[in-house]
Amino acid sequence: MSADVWRTGSQSTIPELLLRRLESDPDSQYLDVCGDTVTAAEVYDIASRLAGAFVSMGVSKGDRVATLIENSIEAVYAWWGIILAGGIAVPINTAYKGEYLRHQLADSGSRVVVVASEFFDRLEVVAPSVDSLQHVVVIGDSLAPISGTSTSRWSELLTAEANAPSLTTKPSDLGTFIYTGGTTGLSKGCMLSHNYHEALTRQIGICWERTAEDVVWTPLPMFHFNAITTAVLGPLVFGGRSAIYRRFSVSNFWPEMNRVGATITSTLGTMAYLLAHDVDRPEMPRSGAPEANTSLRLLGAAPMPVEVDDIMKNRFGLKTFSAAYGVTEASLISWQPPGGYNKPNAAGVINDEYFDVRIFDDDDNELPRGSRGEIVIRPKRPEVMFAGYWGRPEVTVETSRNWWYHTGDVGIIDEENFLFFVDRKADYLRRRGENIASFEVESIIMGHGQIADVAVHAVPSPLTEDDLKITATLVDGATVTEEELFLWCVEQLPYFALPRYIEFRNELPRSPVGRVLKRELRDEGATPTSWDLEASDVKFEKR
C-alpha cells in the first residue's frame, strides 16, 4: 500500500461514500449483521424509505433522531435512514435506563426515537419528561402510544416510498452525536462531522492495511463510534465487506470467524485477554482440525498487554494491532502505519499526518520529551476531530483552552515519537470498553436514602482496564448491606456500571480543601473488608 494513501486533500460526506459504492459495486455483499446479509443497493433502498418517513414526521436537516437498538440489521438501516434524511443520529447505549436514558434524549433534543420493543418500557418511563420528543418508532410488537407523542410501527415505515430528500450536505455538517462520560457533570454529546467519520475510517484501515479482499468482523456496539467507522463505513472506503455480531462470545468467536470468513477483527483488549486464555477449541487455528479457521490474519484490540499480544502471535499465528490511542473527540492521535513497528506498552507513534500532539503541564506549558503530562492536540487537517460538545459551549472552550484540545489523559512522548498512555487525569473509569463517569453513578447512588457520602472509583482489573468500586459512608441508623445496595444498583444502573466491589467506611479520605482523595482509594484497591461480587452468591440478569 502506498504511503500516499492517507495524503488525500479531499473531504467527504457520508452519503457520498454510499453513492460511490452504488456506482461501483451495488450488488455484492456489503454487510453481514448477525446473519442478515445485505448489499449496498438493499441498504440504500430501505434507508431511503426510512429517510422519507422521518421527513414526513417533521425531521429536517440537522434535527436529531435517537435510536435504542442492539446490534442488528435494523440498527444499520436506522442509522443510514437518519443520515439520508439529513438528520443527526444519536445512538444510545442499550444498557441505559432512568436518568441516563432521559438525559441523552433531552440533552440531544431528539424529535424522534427508534426503539426496539424490548426497551420500550424504559422509554415509556422517561419520554413524558422529554419536551422535544414528538414521535416514537417501535421495532417489533406494536405498543400503546406514549403520552405527548405519536407512535409508528417500524414495519409500516419500510412500506413507504423510497424517497430520501435531495439535500446539499457539506463535509463539515454533523452526522452523529456520540455521548461520552463527563468528569464534572452528566455525559456530553460529541458532535461528529461527516468528514470525521470518513477520516477515522481511513486512518484505521491504513493501519490494518485493509483492502477490498478483507472481511472485518466486530462485536462492538453501534452506539460506539468504532463500529460505525470500521464496519459500516469501512467497506465503502476500502471495498470488501464487514460483519457485525450481536455481542462478544468466547465460545462462539472462532465459529464466527469461520462463518463469515473474517480476515480482521475489531475488538477490545478485554476480549483479546479472554481469547488468549481460552481453552483449546476445535475451530481454533493450528488446532489440527480441518474446520479450523485459516482466513483470520489480524486481530485488532486495544489496549493489549504484551503477554496477551505474545499469546495471540504464538498460539494462534496472528498479527495483532493495538498500537493506537484516541478519544471520541479526536482520533487517531497515535497509530502504527504500514511498515512501522511498536515499542512494548506504547500506543504507537504520534500521528503527525493528522495531528500536532504535545505534552503539557497543568499550566499549559509544553514539557520536554520523556516527561509525564497531559496529552493535548491540534488538528492539521479540516474536520478530523469533533466539532465540540452539544449544548456545552463552556466545556468546549475549557477543553480547548489556549487553542489546544486537552484530552484529560496523562501520557509520555519519547524521543522517537512513541506515545505511552500513563493514566487518566480526569475522574472517570473505563470498564469493558465503556467509559463511566463517576459523577453520574454517584448521583444515582446518593438517591438510595441510606448513603451519606460516596466515591465511585477504579480498581485495576485482571482483564485490563478497570473494575468499579463503591466506597461509601452510611447515614445514622442505616441498615443496608453491601449485597442489598448492589441489588438496588441493578435496578438503577447500566450493567456495565455495576460495582464489583462495595466497601462501607466511617469516613472518606479527603484533601485539606475537602475533595475526596480518589487516587488514594484507587491505590488501596480492593481491601480485605471490601465486598466482592465475584466472591458472593449474588445472581442477576444483565439488562
Instruction: Count CA atoms within 13 Å of residue 196 on its CB side.
Output: 26
For residue 191, give the DSSP letter: E
Q: Which three cell numbers stand for residue 352?
A: 503527525
Residue 2's pLDDT band (cuts 50, 70, 90): very low
The answer as to whether 384 is a domain residue is no
Range among 3-7, 66-70, 269-273 rated most confident: 66-70
Residues in the chain: 543
Q: Residues of the chain with pLDDT > 70: what percent?
A: 93
- Please compute the mean of the pLDDT values over residues 126-142 and round it to a whole number: 93
The answer as to whether 218 is a domain residue is no
Q: What is the pLDDT of residues 28-59, one digit of tens each?
A: 999 999 999 999 999 999 999 999 999 999 99
Q: State the CATH number of the domain containing residue 161.
A: 3.40.50.980
Could you tell me the residue range of the domain that residue 57 belongs to?
38-193
Q: State the CATH number of the domain containing residue 497.
A: 3.30.300.30
The answer as to whether 521 is a domain residue is yes
For residues 214 and 238, the answer to whether their CB atoms sit within 8 Å is yes
Local structure of 68: helix, strand or coil: strand
For residue 368, give the DSSP letter: P
Q: How far is CA 102 from CA 109, 390, 444, in A?
A: 11, 16, 13
Residues 6+ apart with CB under 8 A from 536: 483
Can you list the alpha helix ranges (DSSP code H) found in 261-362?
269-276, 306-316
The answer as to whether 322 is a domain residue is no
Number of domains present in the structure of the chain = 2
The answer as to whether 234 is a domain residue is no
Say if residue 183's pLDDT is above 60: no
The answer as to whether 161 is a domain residue is yes
The answer as to whether 496 is a domain residue is yes
Domain boundary among 157, 175, 193: 193
What residue type is 355 in one-letter code?
F
What is the structure's pLDDT at 3? Answer: 37
What is the structure's pLDDT at 116? Answer: 96
Domain boundary among 162, 193, 224: 193
Nearest partner of 446 among 388, 501, 401, 485, judged by Cα: 485
Nearest partner of 140 among 161, 115, 157, 122, judged by Cα: 115
Say if residue 4's pLDDT is above 50: no
Residue 18's pLDDT band (cuts 50, 70, 90): very high
For residues 66 and 114, the answer to whether their CB atoms sit within 8 Å is yes
Domain boundary among 193, 218, 253: 193
For residues 22 and 40, the answer to whether their CB atoms sit within 8 Å is yes
**Range list of β-strands (E), 247-369:** 264-268, 298-302, 319-321, 325-327, 330-335, 349-350, 355-360
Q: Which three cell numbers stand for residue 413?
A: 512522548
Q: Which three cell numbers stand for residue 464?
A: 485490563
Residues 6+ apart with CB under 8 A from 407: 327, 329, 330, 333, 374, 375, 376, 377
What is the structure's pLDDT at 290? Answer: 55
More confident position, 399 or 410: 399
What is the structure's pLDDT at 293? Answer: 63
> For the whole model, what pTM was predicted?
0.84
The mean predicted confidence, pLDDT, of the chain is 90
For residues 146 and 123, the answer to whether their CB atoms sit within 8 Å is yes
Burial class (CB in 10 A: 0-12, 13-18, 19+), 212: exposed
The answer as to whether 398 is a domain residue is no
Q: Are strands 264-268 and 215-218 parallel, antiparallel or unpaired?
A: parallel
Q: What is the pLDDT of residues 501-513, one digit of tens each?
A: 999 999 998 754 4
Nearest partner of 328 among 185, 174, 189, judged by Cα: 189
Q: How far apart are CA 266 and CA 456, in angstroms?
A: 30
Which of these ranges, 60-69, 92-101, 108-117, 255-264, has the smallest mean pLDDT?
92-101
